[in-house]
Chain A
């Protein structure tokens, strides 16, 4: 199993550009989520999905869109990048969103918006 994979590893954008961060998992997990990590602030939940076709907002959803057309993939779209979106983005998946759900994290995408 590859686990949770994310691409790209690094990305530099100019303000106003759009892009999609890719996330895929091969563990047949129902629950997938996107976090951003900023220094001293831990991880903050952007969006999550409890299954294909179902998504919901987390703590900091503004400026981001998601879709979940398959169980495996959960892309995160930045519609119009802003410097405030400079961060490290982590995708995670787990078997279920509740209970003892060990979340498996991808290696992260480091995004810089100039």
Chain B
């Protein structure tokens, strides 16, 4: 089956940039997604990228896709304490999720 891998934890200082990385195995994915989960809540779609794109920018968020290496990253500029959450990447039409990266933002 498909596999999606992420690092478990990232800690940054407020105002710094955060980069969350993800690798996946399913090269047939049409879209790749980033979801955000705040404590005690369900997941919310943060952004997505179409598989024929290399980069997508959406305000403070930048998604980079390297199809050759099957590597997806999410960059959050000017990270705020409100960005503290768990971030999941997901790929595949039936959505296989990575294990999630817990982002901690220190004031």
With known contacts A41-B99, A45-B95, A97-B93, A107–B41 Cβ distance under 8 A: yes
| The stretch of B12-20, B42-50, B53-61, B63-71 that contacts the partner chain | B42-50
Which chain A residues in 52-104 approach chain B with CB under 8 Å?
A: 58-59, 90, 92, 97-100, 102-103
- Whether the pair A105, B42 counts as a contact (CB closer than 8 A) is yes
- Whether the pair A99, B94 counts as a contact (CB closer than 8 A) is no
- Whether the pair A108, B4 counts as a contact (CB closer than 8 A) is no
Q: What interface size band does chain A fall in?
A: 20 to 34
- Whether the pair B94, A42 counts as a contact (CB closer than 8 A) is no
In the complex, the chain B residue whose C-beta lies closest to that of A42 is B97
- Whether the pair A42, B42 counts as a contact (CB closer than 8 A) is no
Q: Which A residues lie within 8 Å of B8 (CB)?
A: 40
* A114 on interface, CB distance cutoff 8 Å: no
Among A43, A45, A102, point to the contact of B88 (Cβ < 8 A).
A43
Kindly provide the distance from the CB of B38 to the nearest chain A CB, expressed in whole angstroms.
11
Q: Chain A residues in contact with chain B, CB under 8 A?
A: 4, 35, 40-45, 48, 58-59, 90, 92, 97-100, 102-103, 105-108
